[in-house]
Amino acid sequence: MEMRNITLRFGGVEAIKDISFDIREGEIRAIIGPNGAGKSSMLNVISGFYHPQEGEVWYKGAPRPSMKPYEVARMGVGRTFQNIALFEGMTVLDNVMTGRLTHMKASLWEQAIWWGKAEREEVQNREQVEKIIDFLEIQAIRKTPVGRLPYGLKKRVELARALAAEPSLLLLDEPMAGMNVEEKEDMSRFILDVNDEFGTTIALIEHDMGVVMDLSDRVVVMDYGKKIGDGTPGEVRSNQDVIEAYLGVPHE
Amino acid sequence: MLNKIFVAPFAEMVEAPDFLMQVLWEGLVSGVLYSLIALGFVLIYRSSRIFNFAQGIMVVFAALTLVGLHEMGVPAWISVVLTLGVMFGLAVTVERVVLRPLVGQPDIILFMATIGITLFLIGFGEIIFGGENKQMITEELGIPTGDFVLEPFGGLLILQHIDITAVVVAVLLVTALLLFLNKTRMGRAIRALGDDHQAALSVGISLQTVWVLVWFIAGIIALVTGIAWGSRAGVSFALEVIAYKALPVLMLGGLESITGAIIGGLMIGMLEKMFEIYWGGPLLGGNTESWFAYVLALIVLLFRPQGLFGEKIIERV
Amino acid sequence: MLYRTAGQFKTSYRTDQALFPIRQDAFLLGVILICAWVVFPLTASEFTFQTLLTPILIYSLAALGLNILTGFAGQLSLGTGAFMGVGAYACYKMVTLMPWLNPVVAILLSGVFSAGVGVMFGIPSLRIKGFYLAIATLAAQFFLVWLFEKWAWLYNYNASGAIQVPNLDIFGLYVSGPQASSITQYYLVLTIVSLLTYLAINLTRGNLGRTWKATRDMDIAAELIGINLMRSKLTAFAVSSYIVGVAGALFVFMWRGAAEPNLFDIPLSFRVLFIAIIGGLGSILGNYLGAILIVGLPVVLNTVPRALGIEVESALLEHLNIMIVGSLIIFFLIIEPHGLNALWRLIREKLIIWPFPH
Amino acid sequence: MLDAAPAESSDLLLEVNNIEVIYNHVILVLKGVSLSVPRGGVTALLGGNGAGKTTTLKAISNLLHSERGEVTKGSIRYRGEVVQDLDPAKLVKRGVIQVMEGRHCFEHLTVEENLLTGAYTRGDGKGAIDADLEMVYSYFPRLKERRRSQAGYTSGGEQQMCAIGRALMSRPETILLDEPSMGLAPQLVEQIFEIVKSVNEGEGVSFLLAEQNTNVALRYAHYGYILESGRVVMDGPAAELRENPDVKEFYLGVGDEGRKSFRDVRSYRRRKRWLS
Amino acid sequence: EGIYTPNLSYRTGPFAATGIPLMNGQADYMAMLNARDGGIGGVPIDFDECETGYSTEKGVECYERTKAQAVVTQPWSTGITLQVLPKTNTDNIPILAPGYGFSPMANGKVFQWAFNPPASYWDAASMIMQYIAGGDMGSLSGKKIVLLHLDHPFGKEPIPVLEAMAAEYGFELVPIPVGLKEMQNQSAQWLQIRRERPDNVVMWGWGAMNAGAITEAVKTKYPMDQFIGVWWAGHDEDLKQVGADGKGYKSISWSMPQPDAPVMADIKTHVVDAGLSQQEDLNSVFYQRGLVISMILAEGIKAAQDHFGKGEINAEELRWGLENLDISAERLEELGMTGMVPPFKTSCSDHTGHSGGWMLEWDGEKFVQASDLLTADAAFIAPLEEAKSVEYAEANAPWPVNETCE
Ligand SMILES: Nc1ncnc2c1ncn2[C@@H]1O[C@H](COP(=O)(O)OP(=O)(O)OP(=O)(O)O)[C@@H](O)[C@H]1O
Ligand SMILES: Nc1ncnc2c1ncn2[C@@H]1O[C@H](COP(=O)(O)OP(=O)(O)OP(=O)(O)O)[C@@H](O)[C@H]1O
Ligand SMILES: [Mg+2]
Ligand SMILES: [Mg+2]
């Protein structure tokens, strides 16, 4: 995945100004920057929700034509959202099952009569989903409507839904916002495991520097639409621009 | 056929400009009346995201109360004041009984509740006022009747005094409402409430006060509308269906927009009349007014999903 | 104790996904089915068939159709009445043009036409959302009713502009028209309604159902995780309108016997919407509960004073009726905005933990 | 287990006494929470996800009603007066205002209008309100830049500032702050807590803040409560809590041998000592 | 107990304004008979209302509710009539739809159970056209007649016969429909009328449509004396809206208020003074028409009682009674109702009676008689009735036809 000279405007606001960077297969790539820097917008560009006015998105070595978001998702780009976007009216299990829908092929009629293909498919996919549920340790809440879950669990369910699609590129928008250290530790472990076990490439936005520095292979730093830093965590941490714009005076 | 669609109507417009002017004027007047109902809708929608289906019946209810009180021997202007009192009572009741327990529910539930209110008011009103058609007390209220007959281009153009009055009143009402919403503390609170009632509660905006106020204003608008419509065709429960004319106006103009309600009303009023006269009647068997406004609104929405003046729907993830 | 779910373990995903995984539910369903298939028909009077049993079933089916669109896929529709009309007129044209056609086949086919029309009016839903979408369905509502009035071919150039259901038979047994008996019609309706309900349950719990619910709950997110919104919304419109169309055909052929265009106007749409909402959006069972309430209530209200020997003027009674129905709608919305179905679920949850309060 | 804070009762602004909250008639969320906020203090409410922090704050500010939740037991007093049946607006008039979790700005209003609605309950004239507006802008210069844009289009951080600014506009005595740091850049988090501190010290406003970010919260707070699944499991002065080994391990992520890297977290199941 | 004659009334809904005086008239006449004579032939009448609000659905419910005991069904709306019409064949209950319903119902051979005396809508159309023609149908040639009608089965009822007449006599017919939602705002229709410049406007209106049309006519200054309505468009209250401005408006009617008729005195003493009436204006056209409607039913019951020699007749016997109505001038005199309805007779094959009617004119305050008795052109209408009724029977085959009628 490679972003080339992306520029994105909303009316008068230039949310992203001429940014290029790449994401290598199998790495964990972090995007950081102050609030309103355009990080989420960048993810939205990658997943096809926003169409940049200028620039191109290259995917797997070729420029990606302009597509509908669902087509992008079907190409193997999964994501979670900054403000949780679960389907509130459904149970956890159903939510995660929606993640598998690109893998289900039974026709309307087959689903209506349920026998045969539809049922077989349902059971097979259920097994896949149960694996992910096990992996993320959310077995106990399988049948709970997501509307009733606390924030942290919702984030986990969102991750489960994204993983269910078996994406090759996973975009995570602030997966650990609103969590305490313990939960962040759990979440970090999941992210690392996903990366290790499935070899999934991950792009991650996060404000917790501890997490970013520890997990990511490389970091892009954005500030008001511009790229001000790119490199390994160590390089970025010592970059003066980055410190001024974002990190502030380090504590600890 | 093509001639009938593309040539003949325009030829007729040119040949009989006085008739065209009359058509436009009638459309304009109907449009103003549609707008008045739509205004009531907009106000309530803005403050609570409630799509108040009961606005139509409130018009009937207000007008019947006015006429009913007058029939009981109360002088016209005092009846107006008393009717306003009744509308205030209605606002308080609705707030207490319906809105307060339903706060925070999904839009469609509240919409359904307003249909419940509509049914209740129909039954209640018919018990009290009976189903007969009543005459609006136009003269008693000092509203001018009669007409101006003009002769532009040697033709004939009839302008009713009551229609002119309705137009003037509507303009005043809209101006007042716009000022109220945009320039006052209360107006800002109303708009805030529409966006996020939880947050509004948390900054200390009292839902009760705002809702009673808003429903009361909607009641005032209903009374004005009732007088205007009633002067044209009498007051009866059949008037309730005019709510259906206000819906497309709202959608076309944008649910939150006062300006939209006015422009939408005028557009729909004039265009539907022209369509019916020049195309619908001759070519389609007439009565196209029953759907034209909806189809027009639908077409506009296809290009602007939030209506002409509605607030842009913020879609972010 | 009666409703204890503990101890009912599932050992495979297949059994866990069975239609009624909980034993008590299956039992309850059995009782209801026996009532519907055996007890009611044996005991009901002509009046009960005509004013309660048959209409409740037909309205439930219409509400089920609407519920798929509004409750499951989240697309508000105020045009149900007109789509029922499309089904009814399509059925009428089919049986008059092809008198040899089996009436049941005709009824099931008539849904195809309303599905087509539904999809057409559903296309704007790709751009227009929420209450604004109501305009598209209202446009359908008013335009179609107007069309039923103006397009004389639809009612075979009848002088009155209304359609009259002919006497139709299956193997010599009249199933529609004045010659048909209420009980035959009831069984026919019950069969079709049961069948469509079964199919609808399967659709809503399967993959398509999840797609619809995702679209309803958050369409942007749905699209970003790979749901083709266009397909999702349009299939919802198609399936929903199909069911609604069949309900419309049943409405006229199995119950009313005749119909004027006006019958399909907005009050009918609202009625069905009431049923769906009072019953509970996004539920299947709710449609039946809602229909029982909305159809049964006025009948009961009309009968009660008479039965008690109280003389109430019929006009006053009617006014009171309207008032009571209006108040009850509000009342039910307040006690449980998510409908009777949710109320039932709450009772179930309480039963499970009974005798503990929580 | 420790009981409620040992502060003198005359100093107590807010007292929550053993409250129980049920959602939807069946879901019991708070199982007897007691806490108190002294005048002029910054009190932190800590705890993991779903512990019930938000619910506690909403119970105090009476916002539960519209979520079908209710307080079924216990009492809430503000300045000695029972407030749990008051409507939220009245509470704001008494000086308690909540900044809700997830910002909740008025999307279609401009930033400035958002701030002005904060002053809704005030009756002290336009001059005073304008002065406070300037004060808020001086705390949050970024808001001044974006004063004319619709709040719905501003970024998360800007919205958080807007929400806090809006609360300040009502000249409150107590602010209930729910997860102010969520989703904010580290620099901003510091900045917001600095503002909390200066408002607290400068204007004497008391704070009750619910936070996940224990580290920062304990640095700025005077007193802390730790909530776990609907119960207060620990409380004490912030400085003490910071030194508590359990808190260190579970909430600060600092083990015996200093801060662990997130990479090295092993997947063993830990148990909190007080739950076992 | 007594003879149960339910009325499917509509005192609510959009048509209530026209319904209420009619329902009052019907109820008061029966109350008067009960009070004065102890019913009919000594048997009290159980006159009951079942409210439909003009909705077909409610109407069918009322029909089902009442049919077990009722001797007659009085459906009132065209929609309900159409719906119950086929059912009456199997339920064997006569429908009595005086002056409304479905014009081909006149053919008693086909519609054995349906009655619409004393005149049908097609009669009305024929009488109106005769009145316009002034006796010479040839004079209609080249004229332009607008039919302003409700867009509803009721409103479309006269179209077939008017079209046939237009073809026969060479006038131009321009139907202009009024939608149910436009009843109160007919500016488009009246603009069209202004453009068409018709010689006459004929109105088939009901409920709120009438008041709407008349006010609009006044507004657009359409000459009132060229404006004629069907009998349901001749309601005093509608015209009072415009008062003197409505002077000259006409309405064909098969009934005529007679304030001084002896029956009115009986109504006053036995019903009004006894506090049993809800009616205020006893001289309104619709109220008195309601009285006549109940009289027709009462006469049918009486005929049946006399023929079968018993008091408690059943539905089937009432059918005979309604087929053998003989409302002669003498009988009207006996009833104290001279001049309230033209004399007429029904038979097995003629379920209408085709009584004819008078043109009423609004004089600014009330309706007054404006013509001698007009009668429909039976020769013109009969073939049409025959054709349409046969068509109906065919479409609804198997449809029982009464072959015993001559
Ligand atoms: N749909 C939109 N319309 C208009 N402006 C937008 C839209 N989406 C984002 N913006 C603007 O683009 C800028 C960048 O927003 P974005 O959400 O990408 O920030 P971010 O880096 O994710 O910040 P945060 O860390 O607070 O989430 C903001 O100023 C925002 O107001
Ligand atoms: N409206 C509701 N209906 C039902 N349950 C709810 C509702 N709101 C919250 N809950 C439940 O109450 C519990 C406490 O939630 P609360 O939001 O108070 O937690 P929190 O401590 O603020 O967590 P977080 O840090 O994630 O914000 C959770 O288990 C949640 O599932
Ligand atoms: Mg972001
Ligand atoms: Mg919280």
User: Tens digits of per-residue pLDDT, D74-122?
Assistant: 889 988 888 888 888 888 888 899 998 877 888 888 999 899 988 888 8
Summarize pLDDT for C186-219 with one digit per residue, the tens: 999 999 999 999 999 988 888 889 999 999 888 8
Distance in angstroms (rounded) separating the CA atoms of residues E54 and E207: 10
Q: How far is Cα E308 from Cα E310, in angstroms, rounded to an integer?
A: 6
With 90 as the cut, is the pLDDT of residue B183 above it? no
Tell me if A2 sits within 8 A of A58, measured CB to CB.
yes
Confidence (pLDDT) at D4 = 39
A147 touches chain D (CB under 8 A): no
Mutation target for C interface from B42, B44, B48, B108: give the one with most C CBs within 10 A. Answer: B108
For ligand 2, what atom is nearest to the CA of residue D101? 27
- Candidate of D16, D25, D35, D54 to mutate for ligand 2, largest count of ligand atoms within 8 Å of Cβ: D54
Sequence-distant (6+) residues with CB within 8 A of D266 are none
Q: How confident is the model at residue A232 (pLDDT cuts 50, 70, 90)?
A: confident
The string of pLDDT tens digits covering residues A144-155 is 888 878 777 888
* Percentage with pLDDT > 90 across chain B: 21
Angle at B96 (CA atoms; ends B91, B100), nearest 5 degrees:
115
- Beta strand ranges found along E289-374 (DSSP E): 326-327, 344-345, 358-362, 367-369
Please, which chains are in contact with B (at least 3 CB pairs closer than 8 A)?
Answer: A, C, D, E
Residues of E in contact with C183 (CB under 8 A): none
Answer whether residue D268 shows pLDDT above 80.
Answer: no
Residues 6+ apart with CB under 8 A from B85: none
Is the pLDDT at A196 greater than 70? The verdict is yes
Pairing of strands A169-173, A201-205: parallel
pLDDT exceeds cutoff 80 at B104: no
Strand-pair category, A218-223 with A201-205: unpaired
The pLDDT, as a whole number, for residue A252 is 37
Pairwise CA distance, residues D59 & D74, whole Å: 11
Residue of chain A nearest C200, judged by CA positions: A112
Residues B244-289: pLDDT tens digits? 888 899 888 888 888 888 899 999 999 999 999 888 888 888 888 8
Is the peptide bond between E398 and the residue preceding it cis, with omega within 30 degrees of 0?
yes
Does C105 or E15 have the greater pLDDT score? Answer: C105
pLDDT at position D3, please? 37
Whether residue C350 and residue D22 make contact (CB cut-off 8 A), yes or no, is: no
- Strand ranges (E), D167-243: 174-178, 206-211, 223-228, 231-237
Q: Which of B199, B205, B311 sits opposite D89 (nearest CB)?
A: B205
- What is the average per-residue pLDDT within B57-73? 90
Q: What is the pLDDT of residues E278-304, one digit of tens each?
A: 888 888 999 999 999 999 999 999 999
Surface of B (278-317) touching A: CB under 8 A: 317
Residue D176: pLDDT band by 50, 70, 90 thresholds?
very high
- The pLDDT score that the predictor gives to residue C11 is 66
**Could you tell me the pLDDT band of residue B112, with boundaries at 50, 70 and 90?**
confident
Q: How far apart are CA B254 and CA B142, in angstroms?
A: 35
Report the 10 Å Cβ neighbour count for C308: 8
- Percent with pLDDT over 90 in chain D: 11
Portion of chain A with pLDDT greater than 90, in percent: 1
The full set of domains in chain A, from first to last, is 1-76+167-252 (3.40.50.300), 89-165 (no CATH)
CA distance B36 to A53: 43
Q: Are strands E3-7 and E45-49 parallel, antiparallel or unpaired?
A: parallel
CB contact under 8 A, C162 and E65: no
- Cα of A173 vs centre of ligand 3, distance in Å, is 7
| pLDDT score, position C10 | 65
Place of tokens 């079964």: C198
- Interface contact D187-A34, CB threshold 8 A: yes
Confidence of residue D203 (pLDDT cuts 50, 70, 90): confident
Distance D29 CA to ligand 2 centre (A): 7
pLDDT at D7 over 80: no
Measured between CA atoms, the residue of chain C closest to residue E16 is C315
Q: Which one of D22, D26, D27 has the shortest CB-CB distance to C350?
A: D26
Strands (E), E93-143: 95-96, 114-115
List CB contacts (< 8 A) between C314 and chain E.
Answer: 9, 11, 48-51
In this prediction, residue D270 has a pLDDT band, given cuts at 50, 70 and 90, of very low
H or E stretch covering B173: helix B161-183
- The preferred substitution site among A9, A13, A82, A212 for testing ligand 1, maximizing ligand atoms within 8 Å of CB, is A13
Top mutation candidate among A10, A83, A228 for ligand 1, by most atoms within 8 Å of CB: A10
Chain B: closest CA distance from residue D249 (Å)? 34
Going by pLDDT thresholds of 50, 70 and 90, the confidence category of residue D253 is: low
Distance of CA E315 to the CA centre of its chain: 22
Q: What pLDDT is attached to residue A247?
A: 66
Q: What are the start-end ranges of the H helices in A100-208?
A: 108-113, 117-135, 151-164, 181-193
Residue in E282, E241, E279 with CA at minimum distance from that of residue E260: E282
Of C17, C199, C227, the CB nearest to A70: C227
pLDDT greater than 50 at residue D271: no
Angstrom distance (rounded) from CA B299 to CA B293: 10
Selected residues 140-179 of chain D with any CB under 8 Å from a CB in chain B: 150, 152-153, 163, 166-167, 170
Contact A126 C202 (CB under 8 A): no
At residue A230, does pLDDT exceed 50?
Answer: yes
Q: Are the Cβ atoms of B273 and E188 closer than 8 angstroms?
A: yes
**Residue D276 banded pLDDT, cuts 50, 70, 90:** very low
Count of CB pairs separated by less than 8 Å, A with C:
109
φ, ψ (nearest 5 deg) of residue A166: 50, 60
For a pLDDT cut of 90, what percent of chain C falls above it?
Answer: 35
**Mean pLDDT score, A73-92:** 86
CA distance C45 to chain D (A): 42
Judged by its nearest atom, the ligand closest to the C-alpha of residue D187 is 1
**Nearest Cβ partner for E156 among C51, C160, C313:** C160
Mean pLDDT (chain A, rounded): 83
Q: Ligand 2 pocket: which residues have CB below 6 Å? A: A 148-152, 178; D 23-24, 27, 29, 47, 49-55, 67, 69, 101, 212
Residue having the nearest C-alpha atom to atom 7 of ligand 1: D153
* SS3 of residue A58 by DSSP: strand
Q: Is A4 helix (H, G, I), strand (E, B) or coil?
A: strand
The predicted pLDDT at position C13 comes to 67
- Give the single-character DSSP code of B74: -
Q: Does A114 touch chain D (CB under 8 A)?
A: no
**What are D46-71's pLDDT values in tens digits?**
887 778 888 999 999 888 887 778 88
Strand segments, DSSP code E, in E206-347 are 227-229, 250-253, 326-327, 344-345
Between B316 and C345, residue with greater pLDDT: C345
Count of CB pairs separated by less than 8 Å, B with D: 92
What confidence score (pLDDT) does residue C20 get?
Answer: 66
What separation in Å is there between the alpha carbon of D90 and the centre of ligand 1? 35
**Residue D263 confidence (pLDDT):** 65
Please write the tens of the pLDDT for every residue from A56-72: 888 877 888 888 888 88
Backbone Cα Rg of chain A: 19
Q: A179: which residues sit within 8 A by CB, 6+ positions away?
A: A151, A152, A155, A187, D49, D212
Lowest mean pLDDT among C167-181, C235-249, D163-177: C167-181
Pocket lined around ligand 1, Cβ cut-off 6 Å: A 10, 13, 15, 33, 35-41, 82; B 316; D 153-157
How many angstroms separate the CA atoms of B67 and B74, rounded?
A: 10
Cite the beta strand spans of E334-402 per DSSP E.
344-345, 358-362, 367-369
Taking only the tens place, the pLDDT of each residue in D121-135 is 887 888 888 898 998
Low-confidence ranges of chain E (pLDDT < 70): 406
How far, in whole angstroms, is CA B79 from its chain's centroid? 22
Contacts of C202 in chain A (CB under 8 A): 111-114, 118
Residue (of E368, E369, E289) closest to E119 by Cα position: E289
Contacts of residue C152, Cβ cutoff 8 Å, sequence gap at least 6: C158, C161
**Which ligand neighbours the alpha carbon of A35 most closely?**
1
Element (H, E) at B120: helix B107-129
Which of B147, B127, B155, B119 lies closest to B64 in space, CA to CA? B127
Q: What are E379's two structure tokens?
A: 């020769």
Find chain C residues with C-beta within 8 A of E64's C-beta: 46-47, 50-51
For residue D160, the ligand closest to its alpha carbon is 1
Higher-scoring residue by pLDDT: D105, D245: D105
CB contact (8 A) between residue C179 and residue E180: no
Structure-block tokens of residue A53: 């006015």
Going by their DSSP bridges, the two strands A201-205 and A77-79 should be labelled as: unpaired
C228 at A interface, C-beta within 8 A: yes
C chain contacts of residue E60, beta-carbon cutoff 8 Å:
50, 256
What pLDDT, in 10s, does the model give residues E249-262? 999 999 999 999 99
Q: Mean pLDDT for chain C? A: 86
Atom of ligand 1 nearest to the CA of A44: 18
Residue B27's Cβ-count burial label (10 Å; 0-12, 13-18, 19+) is: buried
**At residue D269, what are phi and psi to the nearest 5 degrees?**
-85, 120
CB within 8 Å: C262 and E79: yes
The alpha carbon of residue B206 is apart from the nearest alpha carbon of chain D, in Å, by 5
Cβ-count burial of E336 within 10 angstroms (0-12 exposed, 13-18 middle, 19+ buried)?
middle
